[in-house]
Amino acid sequence: MIGKAKKAGWVNRTLMVALMFYLLLPLLATLIYAFAKEWQATILPERWTLEWFSEMFGDARFMDALWTSLYLCAISVALSLAIMLPAVFIITVYLPKWETFMKGVVVLPYAVPGVVAAVGLIRTYSTGPVPIAGTAYILIGAYFIVILPYMYQGIRNSLLTVSAVELLNSAELLGASRMRAFANVVLPNIWPGVIISTLLSFSVLFGEFVLTNMLVGGHIHTIQIYLYQRLGESGHLASAIVISYFVFILALSLILMKLTQKMNRGIQG
């Protein structure tokens, strides 16, 4: 038995390592390429440089694109939070009958492929009463829909995990008004979960390419579009951008993981 278990462990580990290698190899190559000065006939580059990074950070368009991406994502997520938090709260606590309907609605973004959604949106909004195709507004609107499932599920799960209804009932019976009960008792307890959904949504948007490119590709240069455009110019530079982009998303993911752990600890006591 023990021998068998050991053998299985050994096989598992080899598979894991092989898989990790397979997944990380392109990234590793990109990383090396981003720091390589000359790299032709050798396994590792002959000379190293920070040139590409300095070129990237020196490029005003990169900083602009980064900034554009950051604020478009931030606005979309903030808007979603402002609308979804009260909406999900009211549905979960006071209108549980609507939940089935909402569950259907929030999976729609998964059901409609990005390309289809983009074409549909351009068709609808290029003329007519709201001609916003190609502007930041249509992008923010589309982003709102993209993160709808994450926000809805995240907020709803937090509410259910802390038994929000029961907390509210307790607070109300102790003399608190509904608003006050929400602020004192529900909000502080769902906050960690809400932050996680927010960050998750943010990183999803930051990595989204199809919708962004199709909707505003020619007009607004987000970091994704900037990256796409420079890809053809210099492989080294593109690698530097990809690595920076990856490090940013990685940092975001790490923060997410830490927060999730902290929250789970809090719940389990």
CB 197, min distance to other proteins, A: 19
Contact with other proteins (CB under 8 A) among 9, 86, 188, 218: 188
Is 177 an interacting residue with respect to other proteins (CB under 8 A)? yes
Is 269 an interacting residue with respect to other proteins (CB under 8 A)? yes
Indicate the residue among 144 and 182 with the shorter CB distance to other proteins: 182
**Which region among 43-51, 84-92, 119-127, 184-192 touches other proteins (by CB under 8 A)?**
184-192
CB 161, min distance to other proteins, A: 10
Is 185 an interacting residue with respect to other proteins (CB under 8 A)? yes
- H-type alpha helices, the chain: 2-35, 51-58, 60-94, 99-111, 114-126, 136-146, 148-161, 164-173, 178-181, 187-207, 210-216, 223-230, 235-268
Q: Are 162 and 243 in contact (CB under 8 A)?
A: no
Is 174 an interacting residue with respect to other proteins (CB under 8 A)? yes
Is 164 an interacting residue with respect to other proteins (CB under 8 A)? no
Indicate the residue among 60 and 174 with the shorter CB distance to other proteins: 174
Residue 204, CA distances (Å) to 59, 134, 207, 266 in order: 25, 21, 5, 26
Closest CA to 81 of 163, 216, 200: 200
Contact with other proteins (CB under 8 A) among 12, 14, 54, 163: 163
Indicate the residue among 158 and 198 with the shorter CB distance to other proteins: 158
Identify the bridge partners of residue 38 per DSSP, sorted by sequence position. 47
Is 176 an interacting residue with respect to other proteins (CB under 8 A)? yes
CB 93, min distance to other proteins, A: 12
Residue-wise burial string across 4-28, b where 16 or more C-beta atoms lie within 10 A, e elsewhere: eeeeeeeeeeeeeeeeeeeeeeeee
CB 173, min distance to other proteins, A: 5
- Cα–Cα dist 184/189, whole Å: 9
Beta-carbon contacts of residue 53 (< 8 Å; ≥ 6 apart): 34, 240, 244
The residues binding other proteins (CB under 8 A) are 162-163, 166-167, 169-177, 180, 184-185, 188-189, 266-269
